[in-house]
Amino acid sequence: MKVFRIVLVLCVLNTFIIAQEDSTKKESTEPSQATTDTQAINNASTEKMSQDVKSYFTREKEVSLYYMGAGAFTTAMGLYYRNQAVNSFPDPTRKYDAKSETAYNLGLSYPLIGVGVFQLATGGFMYFKSDKKAKDLEKELEASPASFREQELTRMENVAYWNKMFTYADYAMIGGGLWAYYAGTLSDKKYMIGLGTGLVIQGLVSLALDYFANKRADGYREKLINFNFSYLPASKNQNAYAINGLGANGTSLNEGYYMFSFSYKLK
């Protein structure tokens, strides 16, 4: 009877130990599944961001052709009016009449040539750097998504600042051109009228080009802000919150979990 009791106790202990081992194995497999699910989501998010990068710089290369086209056209027009003025007034030692067509052509030519060359240079820079920049960013995205996101957001903030400055410059050209045109009509000075006309033309062309460039940059920056990449081999039901870096109660995840998450808020 005593032997039977000992055997019974051993059987109960053995059953308890086996149950504990099964429970441990079950729990140990959960983080692996959670990690797999999270990595699948991360891979999809990274792939989507990679496509957004390609789309942005492909579009930038296309838009650069509009900048170069506008710059080439307005520069050619400026050179034409400049040539007209020189041909109609070949003697530089004599002073031309401020009310003549020569004065108007000279005034019109300067903003067309000056801003046109700037548009050509801007378009050329965008065209030749787009492919290389896209490839470099794709490599950075693959190597370190968080570093990519942080650096690219910083760069796009800088782009947004300069886009704003260029827009102000466009408005200044339009406003200055209207003022020069009005002042020229009051004093009957054809040079000021031509200068004002050229500034208004270039201001409107640049404003249209910069408007669409700004819209494209804002859309890309919004995608960067919404790009999240997290790695969290959590257990049980924590994985559902891993992408946002939150625990099940909505608070930040505590120690015991390995998480890599980068969050950015536009202020």
Q: Tens digit of pLDDT for each residue in 184-222?
A: 999 888 999 999 999 999 999 999 999 998 999 999 999
pLDDT of residue 141: 86
Q: From its phi and psi, is residue 233 left (phi > 0), alpha (psi between -120 and 50) or beta?
A: beta
| Containing structural domain, residue 242 | 230-267
**Structural domain contains residue 32:** no
Over residues 95-109, mean pLDDT: 80
Give percent of the chain above pLDDT 90: 45
Q: Are residues 54 and 98 in the same domain?
A: yes
Last residue of a domain, one of 214, 229, 244: 229
**Structural domain contains residue 12:** no
39's CB contacts (< 8 A; 6+ apart) are 231
Q: Are residues 248 and 206 in the same domain?
A: no
Over residues 212-234, mean pLDDT: 77
Q: Are residues 54 and 147 in the same domain?
A: yes
Between residues 254 and 40, the one the model is more confident about: 40
Q: Are residues 69 and 140 in the same domain?
A: yes
Q: Tens digit of pLDDT for each residue in 41-96?
A: 566 778 888 899 999 999 999 999 999 999 999 999 999 998 888 776 555 545 66
Mind spelling out the 3-state secondary structure of 196-262? HHHHHHHHHHHHHHHHHHHHHHHHHHHHHHCCCCCECCCCCCHHHHHHHCECCCCCECCCCCCCECC
Give percent of the chain above pLDDT 70: 65
Provide the mean pLDDT of the chain: 75
What is the DSSP code string of 15-66? HHHHHHHHHHHHHHHHHHHHHHHHHHHHHHHHHHHHHHHHHHHHHHHHHHHH
Q: Tens digit of pLDDT for each residue in 110-146?
A: 999 999 999 999 999 999 999 999 999 998 888 888 8
Say what the pTM is.
Answer: 0.68
